[in-house]
A = this chain, B = another copy of it.
């Protein structure tokens, strides 16, 4: 059964560490934990999408979105040298890993991953909102977290986080307030 080979292979995602730490913690989050958390956020926050969304599709997207990192590794969102977007390396990874599945399933999941990466459909926009919101909440719980650790200033954070607005104006209002509070609390630095 081809699916079993895939199921075994994707276990490796549990070893891919993100830069962001767990809530109130110094322990880096791994991609399996991150993907689970985005799925849970999707379940409880879907009602705030600005447009009707197919929740099953969003769940599949957030569950699979980082599987390519098994081959391509995690790229830090504020990395200035490497672009976070859909690299050749990630596309090859998608083809190899999803390609372990029977062809119809492989095609479906590669297409879904590409749709997420392109971020144009309502589902992809909402999935990306989740992907931006989780580390924001984590960093705040960790006194600035990766923002402090890597000296990322307000404007750079704002530019990445505004993707939340594409999925949900309610969540964006919430997130924008958190960013402003973070500046006031001194855990996010605003350059003059």
Contact = CB atoms under 8 A, between A and B. Distances in A.
Interface of A: 1, 3-4, 6-8, 10-11, 13-14, 22-23, 29-30, 32-33, 35-37, 39-41, 43-45, 55-56, 59-60, 63-64, 101, 105, 109, 134, 137, 141, 174
A64 to B, nearest CB: 7
A22 B30 CA distance: 14
Nearest to A140: B8
B43 A32 contact: no
Question: Which applies to chain A's interface (DSSP): helix, strand, loop or mixed?
Answer: helix
Given A8-B23, A11-B23, A56-B56, A37 B44 contact: no
Nearest to A174: B1
Contact of A36 (B4, B23, B33, B137): B33
A43 B63 contact: yes
Nearest to A10: B40
A7 B44 contact: yes
Nearest to A15: B22
A63 B7 CA distance: 16
Contacts of A14: 22, 29, 33
B137 A4 contact: yes
A11 B56 CA distance: 22
A7 B23 CA distance: 10
A1 B43 CA distance: 15
